[in-house]
Structure 1
Amino acid sequence: MAAGAVIHTFTGSLADVDRGVYEELSLRVARHPSETDSYMLVRVLAFCLEWDEGAQFSEGVSAVDEPAVVIRDRTGRVTGWIEVGAPDADRLHRGSKLAERTAIYTHRDPAKVLALWAGKRIHEAERISLFSFDPGFIDDATGALERRNTLTVSVTEQQLYLELNGSTCSTGIHEHPLA
């Protein structure tokens, strides 16, 4: 954990009907001093939307060699490389070579994020997707963030329903292929 990081806890449930994933959640998230609430919330949502056995958070924005969320199998092999925000092309290239699945979740304008990678060398870019949310969704949801959080994440037909500390909001999950 980075020095000066603030710990946020998230307890609740995940019901991803689209993938057939139903889990009780108990997450401890270290928020780096330079990390925004929006970035942290997208990290939590990416963790939920990509949840698989072996999923874990890295050290967030201070992690140099790992994505925001990494998924490892029982042998320690990286099977999922999940980035948040707008990582550089070299990170995506490396992640795509290491993992079976590479994905990016962003709270930024997806057209601007995709433009950052145009013409860049990214291993098997056609297998990588950028996921975004409806405009305003992340801003609305961060207003309900606290240090100790209860959340319910439900996904059905690419629609995400979030209950965070009694506040509810929903969004489409929009997929943008890199190539």
Structure 2
Amino acid sequence: MALKSTIFKAQLQIADMDRSVYADHALTLARHPSENDERLMMRVLAFALAVPADDLRGRLEFTAGLSDTEVPDLWQKDLTGQLVQWIEVGQPDDRRLAKACSRAERVTLFAYGSSTPIWWQALAPKVARLDRLTVWQVPAEASKALAGLAQRSMQLQVTVQDGQIWVGDGQETVDFEPRRLMPA
């Protein structure tokens, strides 16, 4: 019998001064049996850093993710069904990113993990021509610390100012500055 996803709920308060986005979001996330807390929290972080200020061009939504290899971790579709944003977390290959860039107006990747520099060194030349792609590297220490905030029911505050990010749950805070890998 197949294992079922575990449901997580998060009350997310966002104060992104860099983008002038201030909002509260109630999120329900399904954690795939093969997904760990670090990847789950990277999806929450990706949502917080990419959610638009309004829903005029559609809502940013979590997808089936690991359960469906044909979709990203998050996406935003407009009312006509056109993909506005395709958002990935992790270290996908160049073919997946090229496919995403051919389908969406904007593709954003949040890479994390200690192997990111080695992965990026091999991938960068292959994706250099993808002008719709933005790649961010979250420091490995930060993604591991974010995993420590994961709970089945969470209340998180995300603050962004001058490129610095703070994520807290009222007891612990993780602060870091992601590094933009592309465009340089």
The TM-score with structure 2 as length reference comes to 0.88
In structure 2, relative to structure 1, the CA distance for the partners of 1:101 and 1:155 (3 Å cut) is: same
How many residues are paired up? Answer: 177
**Does structure 1 residue 90 correspond to structure 2 residue 95?**
yes
Report the counterpart of residue 18 of structure 1 in structure 2.
Answer: 18
1:128 counterpart = 2:133: yes
Give the Å deviation of 1:151: 0.3
Q: Name the CA distance, whole Å, in 2 between partners of 1:83 and 1:56.
A: 12
* 1:105-120 aligned within 5 A: 105-108=110-113, 109-120=115-126
Q: What secondary structure does 2:75 align onto?
A: strand
Point out where structure 1 has 5 or more consecutive residues left out of the alignment: none
2:173 equivalent among 168, 171, 175: 168
Maintained 8 Å contact 2:91/2:112: no
Query: 1:1-179 counterparts in 2 under 5 A?
Result: 4-52=4-52, 53=55, 54-108=59-113, 109-120=115-126, 122=127, 124-164=129-169, 166-177=171-182
Q: TM-score, normalised by structure 1?
A: 0.90
Identity of aligned residues (%): 29
How far the C-alpha of 1:97 sits from its partner, in A, is: 1.0
Counterpart CA distance in 1 for 2:46 and 2:87 is 7
Q: Contact 2:60–2:76 (CA<8 Å) still a contact in 1?
A: yes
C-alpha distance in 2 between matches for 1:110 and 1:175: 12
Question: Distance between the aligned counterparts of 1:31 and 1:151, measured in 2?
Answer: 17
Separation of aligned partners in 2, 1:112 and 1:178: 18
Q: What code does the residue aligned with 1:31 have?
A: R
Unaligned residue ranges in structure 2 (runs of 5+): none
